[in-house]
């Protein structure tokens, strides 16, 4: 089975996401001389990924679509200079994902069967507790509990301004303690910080929220700060997670070798597709570290993560954002039903391939728009400067 066409299709979400921001999504379609096709996702926050998919794809025309590892190596080593950046890796990941989908469809089996077979039928997943105030976060948490979730994740720092400032930290701590009070002792609370904190502010925050018994703190520091993670790990007993902005097994190797975190979070659409995430998962397992693939994107990435999670001995929990107004539009772009979580678990898809197909006519009616994701660091540094806040 030979590859005949590889295309990237970008589109804007039908509605703003749960933060009220715009986002473009990018899907990759691989077609073959036998009339079969596969879908992948290369969403990464930049439309620059579209020509990168076209460039990488042009080098694969006429190749055996089943030779996924060989094609991965060719795409990764395509140039001495561009290797490994997020645009390159997102394009590679989307093509890789589409090749797995294609192969599963051609063989009539779900992708998890190609990855060694499932070790579970349902995937523990989490809801959300985000909100601009403690009361709003508590209400959000209660809604998620009513939907059956037993674990909730939220970002208590949203809209707080500078995250090194004492007032911002105190407000975030207040939110976490309020959510714990709202959900009781038997629901897991996951905290994401998006790398906003310094070592000292992360230390203070971890100490203050310890009574809430967080399940983990995600990306407390920027992912490159391995020394900072090492020091923070020595200062807190709260489990740490990171990895959504790390690409390839080579970036995860030092993190794992030094056991700096308890959970790694590579993104299927960024870190190298299913081919690379399998290897990262095996490395993590060898170091007694859990896996929770990052997944705030579209339906293709979600189902790719589900197939991978189904096969991993060291899978911990699934990121699944099904908030109204953000991902309730999956059904609009798919020609196949999208699974729904039930009682806090996401069912492992059983249809051939990844278990989906996309309506290209619908995508054509959703042309990409300008991304509305300014740097949170620069935005909040600007707020801090204008307000004359003190730093601590």
pLDDT in tens, 103-124: 999 999 999 999 999 999 999 9
pLDDT tops 60 at residue 160: no
- The mean-pLDDT minimum among 207-221, 254-268, 330-344 falls in 330-344
Query: In this model, does residue 263 exceed pLDDT 60?
Result: yes
What is the C-alpha separation between 300 and 269, in angstroms, rounded? 9
Average pLDDT of the segment spanning 295-311: 96
How many Cβ atoms are within 10 Å of 249's Cβ, its own excluded?
20
pLDDT of residue 329: 82
Q: How far apart are CA 229 and CA 257, in angstroms?
A: 13
pLDDT > 70? residue 385: no
Residues above pLDDT 90, as percent of the chain: 82
pLDDT at 389: 33
- Residue 294 annotated as catalytic: yes
With a CB cutoff of 8 Å and minimum separation 6, the contacts of 324 are none
- Give the whole-angstrom CA distance, residue 58 versus residue 66: 17
**Whose CA is closest to 334, among 305, 369, 295, 298?**
298
pLDDT in tens, 51-86: 999 999 999 999 999 999 999 999 999 887 778 899
Q: Is the pLDDT of residue 165 over 80?
A: no
Residue 178 scores a pLDDT above 90 = yes
**Dihedral, CA atoms, 104, 354, 362, 366, nearest 10 degrees?**
-120
Q: Which of 50-64, 79-93, 155-169 has the highest mean pLDDT?
A: 50-64
Task: Calculate the alpha carbon distances from 187 to 95, 110, 120, 141, 150 in Å.
Answer: 38, 32, 22, 10, 5
pLDDT at residue 356 is higher than 70: yes
Asked about 270 being catalytic, the answer comes back as no
Q: Helix 299-311 and helix 273-286: axis angle, to 10°?
A: 40
Instruction: Establish how many alpha carbons lie within 13 A of residue 251's alpha carbon, considering only the half-sphere containing its beta carbon.
Output: 24
**According to the model, what pLDDT value does residue 16 have?**
57
Rounded-to-integer distance, Cα 243 and Cα 192, Å? 12
Catalytic residue among 140, 294, 327, 380: 294
State yes or no: pLDDT of 390 exceeds 50.
Answer: no
Residues paired with residue 192 on neighbouring β-strands, in sequence order: 218
3-class DSSP assignment, residue 342: strand
Distances in Å between the Cα of 21 and the Cα atoms of 17, 136, 175, 247 are 6, 19, 22, 25
- The reported pLDDT for the residue numbered 324 is 54
For residue 13, is pLDDT > 90? no
pLDDT of amino acid 276: 98
Place 161 in a pLDDT band, splitting at 50, 70 and 90: very low
H-state helical runs in the chain:
49-58, 68-76, 86-107, 111-114, 134-146, 166-183, 199-209, 226-235, 248-257, 273-286, 299-311, 330-333, 360-364, 376-387
- Summarize the confidence of residues 129-137 as an average pLDDT: 95
Domain annotation for the chain: domains and CATH numbers = 3-108 (3.30.390.10), 113-354 (3.20.20.120)
Q: Are 223 and 243 in contact (CB under 8 A)?
A: yes
Distance CA 344, CA 123 (A): 8
Is residue 240 scored above 50 in pLDDT? yes
Q: Residue 38, SS3?
A: strand
* Residue 386 or 93, more confident: 93
pTM: 0.92
What's the pLDDT score for residue 122? 96
pLDDT in tens, 187-200: 999 999 999 899 99
């Amino acid at each position: 089975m030979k590859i005949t066409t590889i295309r990237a299709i970008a589109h804007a979400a039908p509605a703003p996401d749960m933060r009220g921001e715009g986002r473009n999504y990018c899907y990759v379609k691989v077609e073959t001389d036998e009339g079969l096709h596969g879908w992948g996702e290369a969403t990464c926050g930049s439309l620059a990924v579209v020509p990168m998919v076209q460039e990488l794809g042009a080098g694969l025309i006429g190749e055996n679509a089943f030779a996924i590892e060989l094609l991965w190596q060719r795409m990764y080593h395509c140039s001495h200079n561009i290797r490994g950046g997020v645009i390159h890796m997102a394009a590679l990941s989307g093509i890789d994902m589409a090749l797995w989908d294609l192969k599963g469809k051609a063989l009539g089996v779900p992708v998890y069967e190609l990855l060694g077979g499932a070790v579970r039928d349902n995937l523990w997943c989490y809801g959300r507790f985000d909100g601009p105030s403690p009361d709003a976060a508590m209400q959000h948490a209660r809604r998620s509990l009513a939907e059956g979730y037993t674990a909730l994740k939220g970002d208590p720092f949203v809209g707080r301004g500078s995250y090194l400032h004492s007032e911002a930290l105190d407000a975030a701590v207040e939110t976490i303690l309020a959510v714990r009070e709202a959900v009781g002792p038997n629901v897991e609370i996951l905290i994401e910080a998006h790398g906003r904190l310094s070592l000292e502010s992360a230390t203070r925050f971890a100490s203050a929220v310890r009574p809430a018994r967080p399940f983990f703190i995600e990306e407390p520091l920027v992912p490159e700060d391995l020394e900072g993670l090492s020091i923070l790990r020595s200062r807190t007993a709260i489990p740490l997670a990171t990895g959504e902005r790390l690409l390839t097994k080579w970036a995860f190797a030092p993190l794992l070798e030094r056991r700096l975190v308890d959970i790694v979070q590579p993104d299927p659409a960024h870190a190298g597709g299913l081919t690379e995430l399998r290897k990262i998962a095996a490395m993590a397992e060898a170091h007694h570290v859990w896996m929770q693939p990052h997944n705030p994107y579209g339906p293709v990435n979600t189902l790719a993560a589900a197939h991978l999670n189904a096969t991993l001995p060291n899978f911990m929990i699934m990121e699944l954002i099904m908030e109204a107004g953000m991902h309730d539009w999956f059904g609009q772009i798919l020609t196949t039903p999208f699974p729904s979580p039930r009682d806090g678990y996401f069912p492992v898809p059983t249809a051939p391939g990844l278990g989906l197909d996309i309506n290209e006519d619908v995508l054509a009616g959703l042309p990409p728009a300008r991304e509305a994701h300014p740097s949170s660091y620069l935005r909040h540094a600007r707020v801090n400067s204008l307000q004359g806040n003190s730093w601590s």
